[in-house]
Amino acid sequence: MEQENETRMEEDELFEKIKSGEVSLRKIEKYTDANTAVKLRRQAVEEMSDISFKNIQNHNIDAEEVARKNIENMIGAVQIPLGVAGPLKVNGEYADGDYHIPLATTEGALVASINRGCSVITRSDGANVRIFQDVMTRAPAFKVENVARAQEFVEWIKKPDTIKHMQDKISDITSHGELVDVDPYVLGNTVYLRFSYDTKDAMGMNMVTIATNTLVDLIEDEFGADPISLSGNMCTDKKPAAINSIQGRGKTVVAETEIPKKVIEDRLKSTPEEMAEVNYRKNLLGSARAGSLGYNAHAANVIAAMNIACGQDTAHVVEGSNTITTMEVTKYGDLYCSVTLPSLLVGTVGGGTGIGTQKDCLDLLGVAGSGHPPGSNAKKLAEIIASSVLAGEISLIGAQAAGHLARAHAELGRGGF
Ligand SMILES: CC(C)(COP(=O)([O-])OP(=O)([O-])OC[C@H]1O[C@@H](n2cnc3c(N)ncnc32)[C@H](O)[C@@H]1OP(=O)([O-])[O-])[C@@H](O)C(=O)NCCC(=O)NCCSC(=O)C[C@@](C)(O)CC(=O)[O-]
Ligand SMILES: NC(=O)C1=CN([C@@H]2O[C@H](COP(=O)(O)OP(=O)(O)OC[C@H]3O[C@@H](n4cnc5c(N)ncnc54)[C@H](OP(=O)(O)O)[C@@H]3O)[C@@H](O)[C@H]2O)C=CC1
Q: State yes or no: ipTM above 0.95.
A: no
From 59, 165, 404, 409, the catalytic residue: 409
Q: What domains are defined for the chain?
A: 15-79 (1.10.3270), 82-134+244-412 (3.90.770.10), 140-229 (3.30.70.420)
Whether the pLDDT of residue 145 is over 80: the answer is yes
- The predicted-structure confidence for 175-224, as pLDDT tens digits, reads as follows 999 999 999 999 999 999 999 999 999 999 999 999 999 999 999 999 99
Q: How far is CA 286 from CA 217, 300, 406, in A?
A: 46, 17, 19
Residue with CA closest to ligand 1 atom 24: 112
CA end-to-end span of the chain, whole Å?
47
Gap between the Cα atoms of 396 and 297, Å rounded: 7
pLDDT of residue 5: 56
341 HSE (CA, 13 A, CB side): 36
Q: Locate the ligand 2 atom nearest the alpha carbon of residue 208 and give its number.
A: 13
Q: How far is CA 63 from CA 45, 60, 75, 169, 192, in A?
A: 17, 9, 10, 35, 39
Q: Is 181 a catalytic residue?
A: no
Q: Is 409 a catalytic residue?
A: yes
Ligand 2, pocket residues at CB < 6 Å = 174-177, 199-207, 209, 237, 313, 347, 349-351, 370, 374
CB atoms within 10 A of CB 172: 9
Find out whether 117 and 392 touch, Cβ atoms under 8 Å: yes
Q: How far is CA 168 from CA 164, 173, 215, in A?
A: 6, 9, 11
Q: What is the mean pLDDT of residues 56-62?
A: 96
Q: How far is the CA of 354 from the centre of ligand 2 (A)?
A: 12
- The predicted-structure confidence for 61-112, as pLDDT tens digits, reads as follows 999 988 778 999 999 999 999 999 999 999 999 999 999 999 999 999 999 9
DSSP state of 267: I
Residue with CA closest to ligand 1 atom 6: 268
Gap between the Cα atoms of 117 and 410, Å rounded: 19
- The predicted-structure confidence for 241-266, as pLDDT tens digits, reads as follows 999 999 999 999 999 999 999 999 99
Q: Is 161 a catalytic residue?
A: no
Gap between the Cα atoms of 362 and 324, Å rounded: 26
pLDDT of residue 306: 99
